[in-house]
Amino acid sequence: MVAQGILEIGSYVAFLFVSTVALVIILRLFVSPRDPRPTPEKKKPFESGQIAAGPGRTRFIIQYYPYLLMFVVYDVIAMFLFAWGLNLRALGASGSIPVLVFLVVLLIPLGYALHLANHRENW
């Protein structure tokens, strides 16, 4: 009975907190000072407080893209294999089949990334 009362109070506190944050955000829109006519100096782009040295959009060479793909794939594989390894005894043999399917599905993009890494001279 006491736990249910604590849950009710917790939901009221959460609602009150979210409502307060929303109210502060809405009030900030009305109270914050705005400059109705910004000068051209204020409209200039800047980089870390300095005047921009070049154009904002430049061509970006993505020679490390395959390695990024490999990292993302290995990262996901490692995370799930670690969680699976912690529960290996509890899962038994029936838990190994989905993991093998998972590994096969994630090794396909890894193979593609390795294929791209071998053809990086085209970039």
31 lies in some domain: yes
Q: 112 and 70 in one domain?
A: yes
Q: 69 and 32 in one domain?
A: no
Helices (H), ranges, 1-123: 2-31, 40-43, 65-86, 88-91, 96-118
58 lies in some domain: no
Average pLDDT for the chain: 79
- Phi first, then psi: give them for residue 104, nearest 5 degrees: -65, -45
Domain range for 71: 65-122
pLDDT digits (tens, 9 = 90+) for 1-17: 556 666 678 888 899 99
Q: 11 and 39 in one domain?
A: yes
Q: 69 and 45 in one domain?
A: no
Q: 69 and 116 in one domain?
A: yes
Residue 96 corresponds to which amino acid?
S
Domain boundary among 11, 28, 51: 51
Parallel/antiparallel/unpaired status of strands 46-47 and 50-51: antiparallel
24 lies in some domain: yes
Q: 84 and 111 in one domain?
A: yes
Q: 113 and 78 in one domain?
A: yes
57 lies in some domain: no
pLDDT for 20: 97
Cβ distance 73 to 66 under 8 Å? no
93 lies in some domain: yes
**Which residues make beta-bridge pairs with 46?**
51
Q: 72 and 100 in one domain?
A: yes
Residues 6+ apart with CB under 8 A from 70: 110, 113, 114, 117
Q: What is the DSSP letter of 7?
A: H
Cβ distance 73 to 117 under 8 Å? no
pLDDT digits (tens, 9 = 90+) for 17-55: 999 999 999 998 888 877 777 788 777 777 777 777 777
Domain count, the chain: 2
Q: 97 and 71 in one domain?
A: yes
